[in-house]
Structure 1
């Protein structure tokens, strides 16, 4: 049994029918196919568009993944702490104040640093998807905006001193 066609599809079915050609709808590419493609094209160990920031104390290593975003609908952040055993703790934050994308990225990083400090996790590898934030924290780039300079100073406080690792 053929699927029901309408409008433009009917026109093409008639045109192609004269030549014993059948039109078959092209299925969409599933997410897994795209994920497989990315996995095959990336060098082993490479994470695209992510920078790594590490706290210097060498104890059990926890991982922090952060992402912040801002739009006309509001701003927020997502973060995930991963224990050395692989247990994941995910958090979603919605900010009740307006931010730029860069400010939201810093808010996400600072929230993750506060959370890890509150949980007494001393060795943390942070993955931020903002190259600007990562480069400012590591000192590669300079923060120009006064607001961003304040975020950067907070991220570099002794309780959350960060060093780059690649």
Structure 2
């Protein structure tokens, strides 16, 4: 919790503790997906060797109560780092997918990852980022401009569309995040 408070404090985001049954659902989910030997008491993040490629799986889920995003960074050694975000503003599905991808790129940049391959389950976003599809919506154009700005900070970047069935963890956690973290404020 302290790590999140520090991370969120840099962006004028305030963490407020809230006791909730819904929060237990996420805690149970994380506890079931992480084996005990994988849960160190102290986590040290070492900058990756330059030629190693990390994988980023993202998913966004809009909802009337705010939107959720789920990120999973996978190290070259296969270690998974999972994050769930909640945004307290309404957005379209496209915008939620872009918010998730932006958050993932910022996280990878902050971890000094140099080579990244992103996997998104929304084909429109993947094709807009690669330039295959044209972007006409002004809001999405702004998202795309910010994405390209972040992408330039990596030595190697690829994006690939994956089927939702191949991105089940991201899909499930983003939906949970869209409804359970109402105590976190992102703005």
- Give TM-score scaled by structure 2 length: 0.55
Structure 2 distance, partners of 1:130, 1:82, is 19
- Residue 77, structure 1, aligned to residue 69, structure 2: yes
Check whether the contact 2:62–2:68 (CA below 8 A) recurs between aligned residues: yes
Query: How many angstroms does 1:165 deviate by?
Result: 6.2
- Between 1 and 2, higher relative CO (CA 8 Å, sep ≥ 6) is seen in 2
Structure 2: give runs of 5+ residues left out of the alignment.
1-49, 162-187
Q: Quick one: distance in 1 between partners of 2:141 and 2:114?
A: 25
Higher relative helix content: 2
Structure with the greater alpha carbon radius of gyration: 1
Question: TM-score under structure 1 normalisation?
Answer: 0.61
Which residues of structure 1 form unaligned runs of 5+? 1-57
Once the two structures are TM-superposed, the CA of residue 73 in structure 1 deviates from its matched residue by 2.8
Moved over 6 A (4+): none
| 2:138 alignment partner in structure 1 | 146
Aligned residues: 109
Separation in 2, partners of 1:113, 1:162: 10
1:59–1:165 Cα change, 3 Å: farther
Contact kept in structure 1, 2:118 and 2:159, CA below 8 Å:
no
> Which of 119, 123, 127 is the matching residue for 2:111?
119
Cα distance change on mapping 1:59 and 1:138 into 2, 3 Å = same
Deviations 1:97-146 (A, max 9, x none): 11111000000000000000000001001000110000000000011110
